[in-house]
Amino acid sequence: MKIGLRGFYDGWMARPAWQKGALLAVQLILVGILSSTPGHGGSGAPQLRGFVLNWAHQPLYGAVAVLLAALLKVRLPSARWGPFALVVALTVLVGVADEVNQLRIPQRDSSMWDLGSDALGAILALTAAGWTSRREGPLFAAGPALFCIGLSLAYNCLPAFLPNVPLPLPTP
């Protein structure tokens, strides 16, 4: 079975800036919409619900990171960590804005766990995007890919089972 992802990130890098910017804007609007939805009261399985909701941050913010990297023309994979770190930092800033927004929404709160998930999602998505630039060998080598999936799932056990750690921000 052939997966058509080889060259995916390089293809996005080659697109015009307005296309990358437009898709990034759509992604940021999606973050804003999801951030502004009211929370839901107690559920039958709060740990499972917390796990799923926190895990959803990773693909959401991973997409933000990949689109930002493409817009900023960051080569992936790269031996230079500075541009990579800049994209992760900018993605986390979007996450901070998301958490500040959630402070004003009924039954929502801010969480350091969410920011950690945002950062992890950015790092894993940028790593996977870099893998699509490989010319030879497996696109997603089993060992590293399974490690990333395991890390993603393991991290999200923390916010599901441990108390919330709110952002140190004044509440409205």
Is residue 7 situated within a structural domain? no
* Residue tagged 């959630």 (tokens): 102
* Residue tagged 């997409």 (tokens): 63
pLDDT at 3: 57
pLDDT tens string 97-109: 988 888 888 777 7
Read off the pLDDT band of 13 (50, 70, 90). Answer: confident
pLDDT at 10 over 90: no
Tell me which H or E stretch contains 15.
Answer: none
Average pLDDT, the chain: 84
CB burial of residue 104 (10 Å; 0-12, 13-18, 19+)? exposed
Is residue 100 situated within a structural domain? yes
Q: How many other C-beta atoms can be found within 10 angstroms of the C-beta atom of residue 1?
A: 2
pLDDT tens string 61-105: 999 999 999 999 998 887 788 999 999 999 999 999 988 888 888
Is residue 171 situated within a structural domain? no
Is residue 13 situated within a structural domain? no
Q: Please state the pTM of the whole predicted model.
A: 0.85
What's the rounded Cα separation, in Å, for the pair 1 and 160? 36
Tell me which residue of 74, 75, 59, 73 sits closest to 27, measured CA to CA. Answer: 59
Read off the pLDDT band of 41 (50, 70, 90). Answer: low
Is residue 8 situated within a structural domain? no
Is residue 168 situated within a structural domain? no
Which residues have CB under 8 Å from 101's CB, separation 6+? Answer: 32, 35, 36
CB burial of residue 152 (10 Å; 0-12, 13-18, 19+)? middle
Which residue type sits at 48? Answer: L
How far, in Å, are 57, 97, 137, 143, 161 from residue 156 at the CA level?
10, 21, 31, 20, 9
Please give the tally of structural domains in the chain.
Answer: 1
Is residue 5 situated within a structural domain? no
* Domain range for 74: 18-36+43-161
Is residue 54 situated within a structural domain? yes
